[in-house]
Amino acid sequence: MIPLALADLPPGRLDTARGAEGITGVKIDSRLVEAGDLFVAIGRGIEFVEDARARGAAATLVPDDAFAAMAALGAAVRDRSDARVVGITGSTGKTGTKDILAALCRPSARTVAAEASFNNELGVPLTLCRLEPDTDVCILELAMRGFGQIAELAAIARPEIGAITNIGPVHLELVGDVAGVRRAKAELVEALPRGGTAIVPEEFPVERDDVHVVRVGLPDDAVVENGRMLLGGVSFGFTARHHAANAAVALAVLDVLGLPRPGHVDVPFSRWRGEELPLPRGGLLVNDCYNANPVSMRAALELLSDRALGRRRVAILGDMAELGPDGPRYHREVGAAAAELGVDVLVAIGPLARGYLEGAGGVQTTRWAPSLEEGLEAVREVVEAGDCVLVKGSRAMGLEAVVDALAGVAA
Both 85 and 56 in one domain: the answer is no
Asked if residues 163 and 94 have their Cβ atoms less than 8 Å apart, the reply is no
**Domain extent at residue 388:** 275-410
Instruction: Give yes or no: residues 54 and 179 share one domain.
Output: no
The reply to whether 60 and 98 lie within a common domain is: no
Name 157's Cβ contacts closer than 8 Å, sequence gap at least 6.
74, 78, 85, 87, 124, 128, 138, 140, 142
Q: Which long-range contacts (CB under 8 A, 24 or more apart) does 148-153 make?
A: 148/187, 149/120, 149/184, 149/187, 150/89, 150/184, 150/185, 150/187, 150/188, 150/191, 151/187, 151/190, 151/191, 152/71, 152/121, 153/87, 153/119, 153/120, 153/121, 153/124
Regarding whether 123 and 260 lie in a shared domain, the answer is: yes
CATH number, residue 186: 3.40.1190.10
Please report whether residue 71 resides in a domain: no
pLDDT surpassing 80 at residue 409: no
Does residue 256 lie in a domain region? yes
Question: Does residue 73 form part of some domain?
Answer: no
Q: Kindly state the DSSP code that residue 176 receives in the 8-state scheme.
A: -
Residues 252 and 283 in one domain: no
Mean pLDDT, rounded, of the chain: 96
> Are 48 and 95 contained in the same domain?
no
| pLDDT of res. 272 | 82
- pLDDT at 248 > cutoff 60: yes
Give me the numbers of helices (H) and strands (E) for the chain, helices first please: 13, 22
Q: 14 pairs with which residues across the strands? A: 61
What is the DSSP code string of 43-67?
GGGGGGHHHHHHTT-SEEEEESSHH
Both 88 and 124 in a single domain? yes
CATH of the domain at 11: 3.40.1390.10
3-state secondary structure string across 382-404: HCCCCCEEEEECCHHHCCHHHHH
> Looking at residue 397, which CATH number applies to its domain?
3.90.190.20
Residue 234 sits in the same domain as residue 99: yes
Q: Do 224 and 345 fall within a single domain?
A: no
Is the confidence at residue 87, as pLDDT, over 70? Answer: yes
The mean pLDDT of 57-73, rounded to a whole number, is 97
Domain boundary, last residue among 244, 265, 286: 265
The answer as to whether 75 is a domain residue is no
pLDDT 10s digits, 168-203: 998 899 999 999 999 999 999 999 999 999 999 999
Burial of 210 (0-12, 13-18, 19+ CB in 10 A): exposed
Is the pLDDT at 28 greater than 50? The verdict is yes
Are 167 and 133 members of one domain?
yes
Q: What is the DSSP letter of 280?
A: G
Q: How confident is the model at residue 410 (pLDDT cuts 50, 70, 90)?
A: low
Instruction: Tell me: do 220 and 364 sit in the same domain.
Output: no
Query: What is the total count of domains within the chain?
Result: 3
Same domain, yes or no: 108 and 223: yes
Last residue within a domain, chosen from 235, 265, 295: 265
Among 265, 292, 318, residue at a domain's last position = 265
